Amino acid sequence: MAKEIWVFAERNGNEPAGVVYELLSKSRALAKEMGGYKVAAIVLGSGNLLTFDKLMEGGAEIIYSADHPALGDYRCDLYGLTLEKLVREHAPEYLFMGATGIGSELAPTTAGLLKTGLAAHCIDLRWNGQRLNCMVPAFGGKVVSEIYIPNARPVMASVRPGILDAEVPAPADVQIMSTDTAFLGTAESGEEFLGFETAGKPENDITEAQVVVAAGRGAASDAAWKGVTDLTEKLGAALAWSRALIDTGRVSDESAMIGTSGKSVKPRVLINVGVSGAAQYICGIGKSRTIISINKDKSAKIFEHSDYGVVGDAAKILPALIEKL
């Protein structure tokens, strides 16, 4: 086994996906704790050279590149086969990827080909001195379980995007390793590539916003909801919500829902309005810097996770706050 931690470098065009930087940064920190490990980025595609600089800046110490026209567009079967070949040749101990649309498909496919273990949709990866624990919310987010893979190698994990910090690691001396992709000349794909459309940046991007106002069931009344939307506008904030607010019919979709089955936020300021603080919600707000919560129940769990709490009726507090602002 090579003492290497591999990160699959998913790309949007020539730009590595955000989660790749998060995983490289996490892997560099783990490599330091584990001692003697190197961190590698794995690039599959056509014209890979264009991403190398970004991956080096992100902290990759080795770049394994499989460059072939058949890999120009993502196809799960060919990407899986190529990853399998690379792993069999170089035998890394760890292989991580983002739990994105692509990663959620490619990770189990690759794990199946390699007959190894995969911890999917992790929220953290922790070295306990002896083994890697993959932290995965279970039972609807009520508990976070530690999953470890004792025997099979590589240990595979997919990690939810936007949760880990992407710190800029110290520059590394980079080794570039090209892979023989001749086998792809005859490999047949069962998938036909029809096209690729990039979703525009959502107008209300709660994952990147610096200020987020999040509404729960307690903000569903007309008066409280007016306060929430006025405050959001006044602060130029993004508007997020809990699952229960959807249940009230006040909002209709999960596009800005926080939580285990929604999104994770990491703003400088998060203001929760009428949110009780269920475990499935809390899971998505842990990286927020300052948390302010308004709730009429002083024993609400949300206050245990807040820097500032205001006990009272949101319909009365919000207009007063907006006037002050």
Ligand X SMILES: Cc1cc2nc3c(=O)[nH]c(=O)nc-3n(C[C@H](O)[C@H](O)[C@H](O)COP(=O)(O)OP(=O)(O)OC[C@H]3O[C@@H](n4cnc5c(N)ncnc54)[C@H](O)[C@@H]3O)c2cc1C
Question: Shortest gap between Cβ of 267 and ligand X (angstroms)?
Answer: 16
Residues whose CB is less than 8 angstroms from the CB of residue 199 and which lie 6 or more positions away in sequence, other chains included? none
Least separation in angstroms between residue 250's CB and ligand X is: 10
Which residues form the interface with ligand X (CB under 6 A)? 140-141, 216-218, 224, 242-245, 257-262, 274-276, 278, 280-281, 294-297, 300, 313-315
53: left (phi over 0), alpha (psi -120 to 50) or beta: alpha
Beta carbon of residue 321, minimum distance to ligand X (angstroms, whole number):
13
Closest to ligand X by CB, 45 vs 137, is: 137
> Sheet containing 143-147: which strands, arranged edge to edge?
124-127, 132-138, 143-147
Nearer to ligand X, 67 or 124 (CB): 124
Q: Which two tokens stand for residue 53?
A: 């600089």
Which residue lies nearer to ligand X by CB, 53 or 297? 297
* Min CB(219)–ligand X separation in Å: 7
Specify the residue, 25 or 207, whose C-beta has the smaller distance to ligand X.
207
Contacts of 153 (CB under 8 A, 6+ apart): 1, 91, 93, 116
Query: Which of 229/276 has CB closer to ligand X?
Result: 276
Which regions of 116-172 does DSSP assign to beta strands (E)?
A: 118-122, 124-127, 132-138, 143-147, 155-159
- Assess contact for 106 and 76: CB atoms under 8 A: yes
**Closest CB 271 distance from ligand X, rounded Å:** 12
Cα(185)–Cα(69) distance, integer angstroms: 9
Chain position carrying tokens 């990866």:
125
Q: Which is nearer to ligand X, 118 or 278 (CB)?
A: 278
From the CB of 240, what's the least distance to ligand X, in Å?
Answer: 9
**Beta carbon of residue 294, minimum distance to ligand X (angstroms, whole number):** 6
Q: Tell me how far apart the alpha carbons of residues 60 and 172 are, in angstroms, rounded to a whole number.
A: 7
Q: Based on CB atoms, which residue is closest to ligand X, 219 or 269?
A: 219
- Taking the chain, what is the end-to-end CA distance rounded to the nearest angstrom? 59
Q: How far is CA 71 from CA 5, 91, 160, 191, 303, in A?
A: 23, 22, 24, 12, 50
